[in-house]
Structure 1
Amino acid sequence: MREFMDYIQSVFYAATGWNRDNSYSSLNATSDALLNFPTPRGLRLTLSSLATSQFATSYQLGTVGIVDGSVSYLYSTVPLGHAIAQSEKIPLPDLLRSYRPLAELPRRAEEGQPEGGLIKDGLAYGRLYLPASMLEALVVRRISRTLQFQLSAVSDQKLRNGGTMLGMVQYDKGRYAVEGLASTDGGLLGARALYNFGGDVAHLDTQTQPATTNGNGTGNSERERIFGRFSAGAEFYYGTLNKSGGMSVGTRFATLPTHKGTPLTATMTVNPLMGTISWSYAVMAGSYCSLASRMDFNVYSYESDWAVGMELWRKRAAWSINQELEEVPTPVNATPERSFQEKLELELDSPPLPLDTAEILPPPESVAQLNKKERSFQAKMEWRLDDPDVDATVPATNENDDDHDEQYSGVLKARLDQHLRVGLLWEGRVKSLLFSLGSSIDLRRLDSPFRTLGLEVQFSA
């Protein structure tokens, strides 16, 4: 489960128009969320609050052998009063969903937004861990619409030199993004770059729009084809103190929200120095199910690793509908009750006038033709029927709407790797409390398979 402070940071980036997904470091974000989700340990309670539109606090208390906790503060120069901070009202997909489709790139040329100009948007975040007395801090500063500076630091006696500091400069042009970083840990210097092509990138600098439906059905073929974005990037880093370096290259294909078919994301990353090749594939099989798989292979040792993951959502309507059905009053029978005398004479008091049902109801053949509906090409490819009661002329609604989010009551996450290690996590909401119950299981040790077991409870206001 995402922590409250991470949720507030995402609200800040959305309010300032910064796309966190347009970075090489986020290339495998979807598959990592489905396959590497953390399982809680012990009991942990978190109380958070958006005290003002620009200030948020969070207090955490836990026990894993010893009692520990943390205190967090966040300040934003941008008012975040529009954020839904109450734990009973926050849409569960915003906190719990692992598969997140890519957001479309902004069309700055069409909107007439200037590339330059100073922006004073900023964020400051600090967290103190107790009783370890470890302190972490984050400062984000927007310099322009395309340029951002970020500084993070950690202070701990266990670290070399008592702590470390990382500075990062990010330049996001939409079509491409470049990052430069420097760290005090080993004198590390690095650079990252990501370039996008295909999909919505072709419309960034033009006023052209996608083809519309015509009499020959061209619009249907455009709607049925896979519409996505390709991304390719690389990273290089070098330690000036230990005289060692590294690099990696990667590519990704992901469908965009305008794609009417099944959302999917496929990535491949290569580390030529270590000889490691990694493939991952994630698909949102439906509104209630997401699947992911990953394969790692090393060309030097011929070792391979694999992992599969699943995310299954629970419908809220599964229990609320039964309650509504019980509350629906039984319809009153329109047929008049016969008297005792009429029952003996086998006749009605005043029989209704005969109606010619043939003039009112269509013949059975016509009803069958009306109910029969040709499936779309996408539905035939997915071996399913079209969604009921949906008119093809009416545009599909966005699944991120509030009404759609209310149908979720919880999610079950599971993963399995080649070492027969299983991770299970059940997350949801009970009244005003958000909970996360999970366990890590080792099937190779059946005498004591449960390696970790924990429960986390969050409340925010």
Structure 2
Amino acid sequence: MLDFMEYIQLSFAEATNWNRDNSYATLTATAHSLLDFSTPERLRVHLSSLSTPHFATSYTLGTVGLIDGSVSYLYSTVPFTETPSRSTLIPLRKLSPGYRQVNHPIPRDWNTVLDSVTSTSSHDDQQQPFLANKPTLLHATLHLPPPTTLNALFLRRISPTMQLTLAVCSTRGPPLSKSAPQASLLTQLSHDTGKYSNEYLFSTDNALFGWRGLWNFGLDPRSSKEPRLSLLSAGAEAYYSPVSSLIGMSTGLRFSTLAAATDVPASASTGANQSTPISSFPYTLTLTLTPLTGSLSTSYSLRASPNLAFSSRFGFNVYSWESEMVAGCELWRRSKREEDDGLEWARQKMRTWDPVPPPPSELPTTKPMDGEEEATDSVLKIRVDQSWNLRLLWEGRVKELLVSAGVGLGPSSFSSSSWTTASAGAGTQSSGPSYWRGVGVSVFYSS
């Protein structure tokens, strides 16, 4: 489950109209959310609040032998007046990432946006964020007890197509140590036009330079208004450090259906000729290749219904012949609507008996498959690999609290191979058979 500050940062991206799907970093985000979710390892309590529309705070307290925690603050020039902040109102699908419906790339032409902003400049200065006040976000988290670690984030939208991100990580040494704090700075400049995106990175740690790019095939969203049913994207990344002579690179493909491919038009019930959707279920296919290490990975994710999704991944290394097979699913439980009086079946019957069809404007429309607006009580996620390592995660509401509970079972702890990306026991090996790897609970409350 995402913490409160991550939720606010996602709300900032939505408020500033930034498409996070149009990036090579999120090429495998759907399979990652369904297969590489982490389970709590201990008891943790999160207390958060959106004090003002511009300012948020969060406090975390955890215990496992020793007590630790963190203090977080966030400030944004963009007000979050329409963002639900109470734990009883925040959509659970916003905090528990699952199957992600890839959005249509947003056209990001500076001249078009500039013309629309200039036309409203004489009416309201608040409607011209890129001229009067460029959206900016500041975030800092201090982890306690010593040795303390400070994480800071500076994010600024330079233009509708450009975004600058500065991330700082500083760790203080032991209390009796006189060494200076270890700090590193990561700079990222993102350029997103809708048709393609580029990201340029630099880290002071070993003077690492990096680049990531993603290209969307098919119709150009900047010059075509026709609806697209699917999206094929190709991307790559490369890194180089002149200090340590470190070189890294990877490439990948993604094919995903868009919302237009699964939504049934409302006018279809009136008997009008409509083309058949290419698929009744949203799905996403990915293929990634790391040439230097010889790793090849494919994934297939399918959303069978608004409340059920499946995903599988197969990985293979051409140098060592190591392989990986992982399968997982998520099952959402929807809550009953308070306004449901139990007579919906009678209303459906009355509609079928009515000889005069209602006008098209009053016909029911099919809701998008993303389901983010649906009220949900809980979600159950299951993940199993070829070694029968099982991971279970339950997340839901208990009164006014958001609770995340998980357990890991299996004959051995997760291996430290390159396939393991988010396991609690990565890098450890058990001395013998072990079927109980750990259980944890996290409790969230926000006001």
Name the TM tier (shorter chain): 0.7 to 0.9
Q: CA deviation at 1:161?
A: 6.7
Match of 1:335 in 2: none
Match of 1:419 in 2: 387
- Equivalent-residue separation in structure 2 for 1:125 and 1:161 (angstroms): 20
Secondary structure, in 3 states, of the residue corresponding to 1:202?
coil
Match of 1:182 in 2: 202
- Equivalent-residue separation in structure 1 for 2:242 and 2:172 (angstroms): 23
Secondary structure, in 3 states, of the residue corresponding to 1:120?
coil
Match of 1:222 in 2: none
Q: CA deviation at 1:303?
A: 1.4
Equivalenced residues, count: 379
Q: CA deviation at 1:66?
A: 1.0
- Equivalent-residue separation in structure 2 for 1:444 and 1:235 (angstroms): 34
Check whether the contact 1:399–1:405 (CA below 8 A) recurs between aligned residues.
no
Match of 1:30 in 2: 30
Match of 2:152 in 1: 137
Match of 1:56 in 2: 56
Confirm or deny that 1:151 pairs with 2:171: no
Check whether the contact 2:108–2:193 (CA below 8 A) recurs between aligned residues.
no
Unpaired runs of at least 5, structure 2:
118-129, 174-178, 263-279, 344-348, 354-360, 414-431
AA aligned to 1:144 is S
* Greater alpha carbon shift after TM alignment, 22-31 vs 93-102: 93-102
Match of 1:314 in 2: 333
- Equivalent-residue separation in structure 2 for 1:401 and 1:251 (angstroms): 26
Secondary structure, in 3 states, of the residue corresponding to 1:48?
strand
Check whether the contact 1:110–1:205 (CA below 8 A) recurs between aligned residues.
no
Which of 353, 368, 378 is the matching residue for 1:398? 368
- Equivalent-residue separation in structure 2 for 1:253 and 1:154 (angstroms): 35
Check whether the contact 2:27–2:286 (CA below 8 A) recurs between aligned residues.
yes
Q: CA deviation at 1:409?
A: 1.1
- Equivalent-residue separation in structure 1 for 2:206 and 2:220 (angstroms): 41
Q: CA deviation at 1:160?
A: 10
Match of 2:79 in 1: 79
Deviations 1:233-258 (A, max 9, x none): 11110011111201111110111122
Match of 2:436 in 1: 450
- Equivalent-residue separation in structure 1 for 2:412 and 2:171 (angstroms): 36
Confirm or deny that 1:287 pairs with 2:306: yes
Q: CA deviation at 1:197?
A: 1.4
Match of 2:234 in 1: 232
Match of 2:286 in 1: 267
Check whether the contact 2:142–2:151 (CA below 8 A) recurs between aligned residues.
yes
AA aligned to 1:419 is S
Match of 1:205 in 2: 223
Secondary structure, in 3 states, of the residue corresponding to 1:13?
helix
Q: CA deviation at 1:100?
A: 1.4
TM-score, scaled relative to structure 2: 0.78
Deviations 1:185-241 (A, max 9, x none): 11101111100113xx434313x435xxxxxxxxxxxxxxx9210110111100111
Q: As a proportion of its length, which structure holds more helix?
A: 1
Identity of aligned residues (%): 42
Check whether the contact 1:92–1:405 (CA below 8 A) recurs between aligned residues.
no
Check whether the contact 1:122–1:141 (CA below 8 A) recurs between aligned residues.
yes
- Equivalent-residue separation in structure 2 for 1:209 and 1:296 (angstroms): 37
Unpaired runs of at least 5, structure 1:
211-225, 329-366, 372-390
Deviations 1:422-443 (A, max 9, x none): 1100000012100001011123
Check whether the contact 2:235–2:252 (CA below 8 A) recurs between aligned residues.
yes
Q: CA deviation at 1:420?
A: 1.8
Secondary structure, in 3 states, of the residue corresponding to 1:455?
strand
Query: Counterparts of 1:328-339 in structure 2 under 5 Å?
Result: none
Check whether the contact 2:170–2:181 (CA below 8 A) recurs between aligned residues.
no
Question: RMSD in angstroms over aligned alpha carbons?
Answer: 3.0
- Equivalent-residue separation in structure 2 for 1:4 and 1:311 (angstroms): 22
Check whether the contact 1:307–1:415 (CA below 8 A) recurs between aligned residues.
yes
Check whether the contact 1:248–1:272 (CA below 8 A) recurs between aligned residues.
yes
Q: CA deviation at 1:157?
A: 3.8
Confirm or deny that 1:173 pairs with 2:193: yes
Match of 1:298 in 2: 317
